[in-house]
Structure 1
Amino acid sequence: MADKAREDEAIRGIVERLTGAFSATRSPAEVQSAVAKAHASFADRPVREFIPVLVERQARTLLNESSD
């Protein structure tokens, strides 16, 4: 359970960081959606330790691609 709470906290931090980083081009809802989509893509992965790093990278990619 502690791992789940730690992962959830890390995901919230990612949303906050990316909301700030993309504030000029993306709404908070768009950032939340990109992070949720990225996080969902790792739902079936048994090893959770690096999920927040991977989610942030994938969400950044999604947000950058959609701004082109």
Structure 2
Amino acid sequence: MNSTTEEQHISVVRQRLAARFPTIDSGVINQAIDTAHHQFDGRPVRDFVPLLVERAALRSLTDDT
């Protein structure tokens, strides 16, 4: 059984995006991630949520720059 939780995966996404966009304020990155993450609230299948969150946040961050 895999003990890695969704929140742990999202934490890795935060780190990865912060490293990719060092000039963007961490609050902006966190907001993009949180907005994307909340799009999946109440969805029963959670396996791919971190990947989908990362992609949505990445789109948001690259559209804003």
Q: Specify if TM > 0.5.
A: yes
Gaps of 5+ in 2: none
| Superposition pairs of residues 1-68 of structure 1, within 5 angstroms | 6-24=5-23, 26-67=24-65
Following TM superposition, where does structure 1 have runs of at least 4 consecutive aligned residues deviating by more than 3 angstroms?
none
Taking only aligned residues, the RMSD between alpha carbons, in angstroms, comes to 1.6
Q: Matched residues in 1 for 2:42 and 2:60: separation?
A: 20
Letter of the 1:43 partner, please give it: D
Q: Matched residues in 1 for 2:25 and 2:19: separation?
A: 10
TM-score with structure 1 length normalisation?
0.86
Aligned-residue identity in percent: 33
TM-score with structure 2 length normalisation?
0.90
Kindly provide the CA deviation profile for residues 44-66 of structure 1, in whole angstroms up to 9, marking residues without a partner as x. Answer: 21100000000000000000111
Question: How many residues get paired?
Answer: 64
Q: Matched residues in 2 for 1:8 and 1:40: separation?
A: 12
Kindly provide the CA deviation profile for residues 2-56 of structure 1, in whole angstroms up to 9, marking residues without a partner as x. Answer: 87x61000001101110110112x1111101100000001112110000000000
